[in-house]
């Protein structure tokens, strides 16, 4: 396909330099042809390759991307501007993202022979996982995540590009109708994609795991398979553990990477939000044998997996948004002082019931302390000791919960504004449900009711459960009554789903 010349005018746009000439499309800088019309942001024009030697997937991918860019929203996708007539000149005009492709960072690391440190890898991975989760919440799955399709903005956030192979639950899957083979980029394609499953958000988790592996080791976990047989091997085979390449790679990072790369989707992170959470708090990642391993999985394990995978056809997955609802992040705000035993018991009871209804949930126990407040008469107690003591209190509080199947982490936040701290934490970590006590953080009950719970409930990006005691604690063991959680009202939330105002 002949490149467009600079200064070419197309449908009110003025074409600039060619920024990228890829295998499926050319990217040009563009502005409005009318000098009096100012763009709200820099723009690019994407023109698909349409030469006789190009496959039909190029034009189908164009149609898919045109379809999705119009309906996807948020800071992790380019903003859509316009599209050209398919019969005349197909093109897409969209926001030009200011940043650097992840591929450039990988190339630079290879050139300099220096891998990013573990914390930097975690930051990049968390940014990618947060961006992927925003798609999954909109019932879309990218299905072609790779370093060239991830832009890292100067602020560290990620923007995902190139939705030509993507899938949306509410639109026809044009690629599946056109193609009868696995669709995706071989080094990053997930096992379920190999057998034709499109629509599982955990496929994007797998692709992020491949990128994390390459960031940590400089190698691709499965190489560059060129045959269908080579692709199918990832249905039963594990890659070499990252620590086999470099023993200095932390065990927590290997634990995260290998969990992303599990052949069975059900053994990976249940959502990209849970992956982002672990990468944001690496010191709280639970490391098992998977994280410590330095040798490949035995051939016996691979053989068992091979028998299970022989002739395997995955069942269609549910809506991405419905699937990630089965793996929520539940946050409980635990008072750090001036809370009665009854309040703590009621919080624990409500939390236990909530986890029981959500088998795939992970729990984040959070407390907020005021800056410089040691909660002790001895002013010599250091801030570090205060944080350590509060973490111990959170762990003691959680001992009464059944957490065998639920990952749990503990967090001490420092802020003079309790509500703001809880809201900030919930937004940063894609919390699905916040459980909040009615006598938390040392504030008098009447002041709390009019400020902290109301502010949290009205501004939270998630569902909020307000819990307060009904009976004195000394009556709980008498058999006269029990603490229950009963829905009483629904509070409106203009920014999110209805908020359950629940008392215990």
Q: What percent of the chain has pLDDT over 90?
A: 57
Tens-place pLDDT, residues 241-292 = 999 999 999 999 999 999 999 998 989 999 999 999 999 999 999 999 999 9
Is pLDDT larger for residue 349 or for residue 447?
349
Q: pLDDT tens, 20-48? A: 887 778 999 999 999 999 999 999 999 98
With a cut of 80, say whether residue 346 has pLDDT above it.
yes
pLDDT at 380 over 60: no
**Listed residue (147, 42, 143) closest to 101, CA to CA:** 147
Q: Which CATH class, in words, describes the domain spanning 9-95? A: alpha beta
Distance CA 272, CA 216 (A): 19
Q: What is the pLDDT of residue 500?
A: 39
* DSSP three-state, residue 472: coil
Domain range list for the chain: 9-95, 100-323, 328-503
Domain 100-323: give its CATH architecture.
Answer: Orthogonal Bundle (1.10)
The predicted structure's pLDDT at residue 180:
53
> What's the rounded Cα separation, in Å, for the pair 177 and 473?
62
Contacts of 409 (CB under 8 A, 6+ apart): 277, 281, 284, 362, 363, 364, 365
Q: What 3 state SS string does 154-210 have?
A: CCCCEEECCCCCCEECCCCCHHHHHCCCCCCCCCCCCHHHHCCCCCCCHHHHHHHHH
Q: Are 435 and 465 in contact (CB under 8 A)?
A: yes
The Cα 285–Cα 495 span in angstroms is: 31
CATH class in words for 328-503: alpha beta
What pLDDT is recorded for position 152? 97
Q: Is the pLDDT of residue 483 over 50?
A: no
């Amino acid at each position: 396909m002949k490149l467009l010349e600079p200064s070419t005018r197309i449908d009110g746009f003025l074409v600039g330099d060619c920024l990228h000439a890829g295998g499926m499309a050319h990217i040009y800088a563009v502005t409005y042809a009318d000098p009096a019309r100012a763009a709200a942001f820099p723009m690019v024009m994407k023109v698909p390759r349409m030469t006789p030697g190009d496959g039909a997937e190029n034009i189908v991918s164009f149609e898919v991307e045109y379809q999705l860019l119009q309906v996807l929203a948020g800071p992790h996708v380019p903003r859509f501007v316009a599209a050209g007539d398919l019969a005349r000149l197909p093109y897409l005009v969209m926001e030009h993202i200011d940043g650097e492709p992840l591929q450039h960072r990988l190339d630079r690391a290879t050139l300099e022979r220096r891998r990013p440190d573990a914390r930097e890898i975690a930051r990049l991975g968390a940014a990618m996982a947060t961006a992927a989760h925003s798609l999954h919440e909109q019932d879309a799955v990218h299905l072609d995540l790779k370093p060239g399709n991830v832009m890292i903005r100067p602020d560290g956030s990620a923007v995902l590009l190139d939705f030509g192979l993507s899938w949306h639950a509410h639109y026809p899957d044009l690629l599946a109708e056109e193609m009868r083979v696995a669709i995706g980029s071989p080094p990053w394609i997930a096992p379920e994609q190999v057998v034709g499953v499109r629509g599982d958000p955990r496929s994007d988790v797998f692709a992020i795991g491949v990128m994390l592996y390459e960031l940590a080791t400089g190698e691709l976990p499965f190489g560059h398979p060129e045959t269908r047989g080579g692709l199918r091997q990832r249905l039963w085979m594990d890659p070499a553990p990252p620590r086999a390449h470099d023993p200095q790679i932390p065990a927590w990072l290997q634990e995260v990477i290998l969990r992303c790369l599990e052949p069975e989707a059900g053994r990976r992170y249940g959502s990209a939000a849970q992956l982002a959470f672990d990468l944001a708090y690496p010191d709280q990642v639970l490391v098992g044998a998977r994280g410590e391993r330095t040798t490949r999985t035995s051939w016996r394990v691979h053989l068992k997996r091979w028998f299970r995978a022989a002739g395997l056809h995955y069942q269609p997955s549910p809506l991405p948004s419905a699937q990630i609802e089965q793996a929520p992040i539940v946050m409980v705000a635990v008072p750090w002082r001036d809370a009665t035993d009854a309040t703590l018991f009621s919080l624990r009871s409500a939390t236990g019931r909530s986890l029981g209804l959500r088998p795939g949930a992970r729990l984040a126990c959070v407390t907020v302390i005021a800056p410089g407040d040691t909660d002790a008469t001895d002013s010599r107690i250091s801030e570090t000791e205060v944080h350590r003591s509060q973490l111990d209190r959170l762990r003691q509080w959680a001992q009464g919960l059944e957490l065998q199947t639920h990952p749990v982490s503990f967090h001490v936040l420092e802020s003079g504004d309790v509500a703001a701290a809880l809201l900030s934490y919930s937004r940063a970590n894609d919390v699905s449900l916040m459980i909040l006590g009615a006598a938390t953080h040392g504030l008098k009950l009447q002041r709390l009711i009019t400020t902290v719970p109301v502010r949290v409930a009205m501004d939270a990006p998630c569902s909020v459960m307000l819990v307060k005691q009904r009976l004195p604690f000394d009556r709980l063991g008498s058999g006269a009554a029990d603490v229950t959680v009963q829905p009483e009202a629904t509070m409106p939330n203009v920014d999110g789903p209805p908020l359950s105002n629940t008392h215990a």
